[in-house]
Amino acid sequence: MAEPRGSSIDGKLAEEFAAPSHVDEVKEKMSAFARRHADAGRRVVLITSGGTKVPLESRTVRFLDNFSSGRRGASSAEYFIDSGYAVIFLHRHRSLYPYTRMFLPVNLLEALQFRGGEGASGNTGEVVVNQQLLPNVGKVLKRYNEVKEGGLLLPIEFNTLSEYLHLLKAAAQELSSIGSLAMFYLAAAVSDFYIPASEMPEHKIQSSNGPLQLSMKMVPKILSPLVKDWAPKAFVISFKLETDASILLDKARRALDAYRHQAVVANILDSRRGHVVVVTPDTQTELTLNEEDAKNEVEIEEKIVSNLIFAHTKFINQPIG
């Protein structure tokens, strides 16, 4: 008998990836958030951001990780909000976060000082910000508070690959109720390999047993059920990262052919901050930062977001056929 669509990935998710205990609670939050904004005529984008952690032991001492800082996801969230979207920010715990991302390299204690300086009034009084070390902090704080008051940003954290997969599935199912008003912007760098829970040693792997050989399974391609089954009316963008520029565009096209979603943002590891190509079934658009952009501190994410919002509008307005 033919298997119902998507059931093999659903089965694999249930059997081999432990669901986070709070998944139902998160589902409710996402559902209410999507409903509230869609009822107000606002579009909702689900952004995934950061890398996934793949444990090697059940009581995890060691894990595999990747390079992603979460900068693309965090900065994109700000540009989407500025353009009128509400954002569900599904991000790796402690990866870059919208607004605070600008201040992370700063040592917090260096950036604060006692009003009146060291030694004044016993130093138990008011603490103020050193504006030279945190330029624009007032402007960013104001925006952050506006976004908070408007309830425009719903942050959801993941750590492991399992959490990521279950929470993305939950998000897709909850956002399906708002149809084409939903956008998926899958900027997270997701591991392609994992060790199933049933094959993972419980305790710390012992180096006294000699060199370690790992056998890892392929992570199910989550884009497939997302596009076909979980959120079939949504506007879906995946990302494609390579280190070899000669295969990048071909891989992006193949992803579009395989999953039938709306766009792939293709980038090369070393140049990702200044150059990407947005590939759709009919177009290929290069987005690049020029010298003028660099002088004005324009970020590539501003251009990516603007390009995709334009495409999303066309997608929403296309005749249903």
Residues of this chain that interact with ligand PMT (CB under 6 A) are 48, 68-72, 186-190, 192, 219, 222-223, 238-241, 267, 272
Please say which residue, 38 or 47, places its beta carbon nearer to ligand PMT. 47
CA distances from 54 to 51, 81, 91, 202, 206 (A): 10, 31, 15, 14, 18
**Nearer to ligand PMT by C-beta: 123 or 271?**
271
When the beta carbons of 189 and 231 are compared against ligand PMT, the nearer one is 189
Give CA–CA dist 47/189, Å, rounded.
12
What separation, in Å, do the N-terminal and C-terminal C-alpha atoms of the chain show? 31
State the pairing for strand pair 263-268/235-242: parallel
With contact defined as beta carbons under 8 Å apart, do 163 and 51 qualify?
no
Determine whether 290 is exposed, middle or buried from the number of CB atoms within 10 Å of its CB (0-12, 13-18, 19+). exposed
What's the min distance (Å) between Cβ of 149 and ligand PMT?
28
Q: Please say which residue, 38 or 50, places its beta carbon nearer to ligand PMT.
A: 50
Least CB distance from residue 190 to ligand PMT, whole Å? 4
Angle between helices 7-16 and 161-175 (to 10 degrees): 140
Residue 92 CB, nearest approach to ligand PMT (Å) = 9
CB of 273 to ligand PMT, least distance (A): 8
Closest CA to 299 of 90, 102, 51, 67: 102
Q: Do the Cβ atoms of 17 and 161 come closer than 8 Å? A: yes
Residue whose C-alpha is closest to residue 194's, from 50, 58, 22, 47: 58
Among residues 35 and 253, whose Cβ is nearest to ligand PMT? Answer: 253
Is the Cβ of residue 154 or residue 263 nearer to ligand PMT in the bound state? 263
Nearest-angstrom CA–CA distance, 5 and 90: 26
CB of residue 222 vs ligand PMT: minimum separation in angstroms? Answer: 4
Residues 152, 86: contact at Cβ < 8 Å?
A: yes
The nearer residue to ligand PMT, 162 or 267, going by C-beta atoms, is 267
Residue 239, C-beta contacts closer than 8 angstroms, at least 6 positions apart = 72, 186, 187, 264, 265, 266, 267
User: What is residue 314's DSSP assignment?
Assistant: H
The minimum distance between CB 77 and ligand PMT, in angstroms, equals 12
For ligand PMT, which is the closer residue by CB, 38 or 158? 158
**Cβ closest to ligand PMT, residue 37 vs residue 71:** 71
Q: Which amino acid is at 111?
A: A
What's the min distance (Å) between Cβ of 68 and ligand PMT?
A: 4
Distance from C-alpha of 172 to C-alpha of 290, rounded to nearest angstrom: 36
CB of 63 to ligand PMT, least distance (A): 16
Tell the smallest beta-carbon distance from residue 17 to ligand PMT (Å): 10
